[in-house]
Amino acid sequence: MAAMLRRLPPLAALAALAGIGAEFLGHRSFTRLVRRDVEALRDGASTARAGVVTEEMLSDLPEPVRRYLTYTGVVGRPFVRMVRLRQKGAMRPGPGQPWMPLAAEEHYCVDPPGFVWDGTLRLGPVRVGRARDEYLGGAGRMLVKVASLLPVVDASGEEMDQGSMMRYLSEMIFFPAAFLGGNISFHAVDHGSAQVTLTDHGRTATGTIYVDGQGRLTDFVAMRYRMAGGRQVLTAWSTPVTVYGEFEDLRLPAGGKAVWKLPDGDLDYIDVTITELHYDAGAAGPVPAPAPEGGAR
């Protein structure tokens, strides 16, 4: 960096340094914003449901749901209060756009349902974008800034509430005991699929889960709002699981994608691998330390 700056004219070097300093301050400000929202998520979390998951709790579920929960190994495991995971992968803004490396950290609350996702996009060593997606207090909001500085997306409203709620429902596969909550209902479809509905803050979100013969949940499909032509449009959306792994002594998805089902073909726009996943089944505590530099923070 120093050698590069020496080759620039003095004013250009000053401008470059100012830009680097502004990006650094913007990054720190964005981190404080995310940390505040994670603290709000944790402060609002109720005490974890007492006891452990039993076979009897699965007995009235549709057969593919029962097969799936049995496969995860959740029977005999305690109910979860909070979840924290980290992801690495790639993301692209649209068809024909380049894939960019992505690192993210996400926090979930089980009761009431909520999440805060913090993602960083890079081109080489340069942070080119920072995004916070959340469902908090029954409301969804997406904030995206270029280089942590310039907002390019700041979305909220009914469509975002529905979209964020649907995202939460699709990602409950990372903490499957939550499917036994009183806010979840099922409708049997066939031997390999079932509809699942989440109810929260007077609204519902419904999707279809697909389960293979071994009990692995392979996909979640639903109608979700997508920004197109300056307006929100209900669009078929899919989150196929690409690989399974073991976290917290459970068989859970370790990689997956998100795909918009468009008239002119599928648009897969995110592809991630789970690198860490941790459960908190106890009382409220401090927000965990940020991820090391190079991660989501």
Question: Which residue shows structure tokens 């190994």?
Answer: 73
Task: Please name the helix (run of DSSP H) or strand (run of DSSP E) that holds residue 103, with its range, or none.
Answer: strand 100-109
What is the DSSP track for 52-96?
A: B--HHHHTTS-HHHHHHHHHHT-TTPBP-SEEEEEEEEEE-SSTT
Q: Which two tokens stand for residue 245?
A: 């792994």
Phi first, then psi: give them for residue 120, nearest 5 degrees: -125, 130
SS (H, E, C) 245-281: EEECCEEEEEEEEEEEEECCEEEEEEEEEEEEEEEEC
Residue ranges with strand state E in 180-249: 184-190, 193-200, 203-211, 217-228, 231-238, 241-247
- Specify the 3-state DSSP secondary structure of 243: strand
Q: How far apart are CA 128 and CA 121, in angstroms?
A: 6
The pLDDT of residue 46 is 94
| Fold entry, domain 9-278 | outer membrane lipoprotein receptor (LolB), chain A (2.50.20)
Which has the closest alpha carbon to 219: 258, 249, 183, 254? 258
Task: Please name the helix (run of DSSP H) or strand (run of DSSP E) that holds residue 148, with its range, or none.
Answer: none
pLDDT tens for each residue of the chain, 297 residues long:
333 333 334 433 333 333 444 455 567 889 999 999 999 999 999 988 989 999 999 999 999 999 999 999 999 999 999 999 999 999 997 888 889 999 999 999 999 999 999 999 988 878 888 999 999 999 999 999 986 556 678 999 999 999 999 999 999 999 999 999 999 999 999 999 999 999 999 999 999 999 999 999 999 999 999 988 778 899 999 999 999 999 999 999 999 999 999 999 999 999 999 999 999 976 444 445 445 444 433
Q: How far apart are CA 27 and CA 211, in angstroms?
A: 41
Do residues 180 and 57 make contact, with C-beta atoms less than 8 angstroms apart? yes
What's the pTM value of the predicted model, to 2 decimals? 0.86
Do residues 184 and 198 make contact, with C-beta atoms less than 8 angstroms apart? yes
